[in-house]
Structure 1
């Protein structure tokens, strides 16, 4: 049973790490300008799914943001088209920061579960030796 707790929390650690990676990538590219003849950076969104039985959670896939992004009038940008527009990703910085906090807290909580389960398992082994 304790190994189930470690296994389930471990699977959640993996999902939260991948979520953190995706959010970090989105944040790093929030101001990435592209020319209007190309696609904007597409934000990544991790899709998690419950596994069968007591197997925990896993990444079921990745969804991507809109490649059209948003057009911004920046005539001084070297990537601007003849009308002065460049393409930016459609990423909301505030929402991404909220997701970053949730992913960090989820990672921390599952790391604590693994640590407590390990401590409990070690205590049980110590009792068994006595």
Structure 2
């Protein structure tokens, strides 16, 4: 049964990691128009136990996108300087939407794997009872 629990742990770790990724993508989309906001990104790392890779993943540290923040011309904005510019956000909505779709599809794939392993485990238990 340990193979089943290992597979469940791998699928669950994938779902947790993608859920966290979706959280940061959502924050980026929500702050698209926030002056001075830097896009947040998260990376994935393999889980290693006793020197062996488990197949599971976890999220690494959240990092801020260091690309240059754009200068936005809007002289009516209260944050604008004497030339009419203020510092905008480096969030690109197209990139965030693509990241969101990718994370959602990955989450769904891990969920299907989790469900398949659960069904296989239940079927094995039914066979052992007979």
For residues 85 and 66 of structure 1, the distance between their equivalents in structure 2, rounded to whole angstroms, comes to: 20
Once the two structures are overlaid, the 10-residue window that deviates more, 66-75 or 83-92, is 66-75
5+ residue gaps in structure 2? none
- In the other structure, the counterpart of 1:48 is 44
Once the two structures are overlaid, the 10-residue window that deviates more, 82-91 or 103-112, is 82-91
For residues 65 and 37 of structure 2, the distance between their equivalents in structure 1, rounded to whole angstroms, comes to: 8
Q: What is the RMSD computed on CA atoms of the aligned residues?
A: 1.4
For residues 74 and 25 of structure 2, the distance between their equivalents in structure 1, rounded to whole angstroms, comes to: 26
- Name the structure where strand makes up a greater proportion of residues: 2
TM-score when normalising by structure 2: 0.89
For residues 93 and 42 of structure 2, the distance between their equivalents in structure 1, rounded to whole angstroms, comes to: 17
| Cα distance change on mapping 1:66 and 1:89 into 2, 3 Å | farther
The total of aligned residue pairs comes to: 124
For residues 41-120 of structure 1, the aligned pairs below 5 Å read 41-52=37-48, 53-66=53-66, 69-120=69-120
TM-score when normalising by structure 1: 0.89
Q: Report runs of 4+ in structure 1 exceeding 3 Å deviation.
A: none
For residues 105 and 46 of structure 1, the distance between their equivalents in structure 2, rounded to whole angstroms, comes to: 17
Residue 81 of structure 1: CA displacement?
1.6
5+ residue gaps in structure 1? 34-39
- In the other structure, the counterpart of 2:28 is 26
For residues 57 and 66 of structure 1, the distance between their equivalents in structure 2, rounded to whole angstroms, comes to: 25
Other structure's SS at 2:54 match = coil
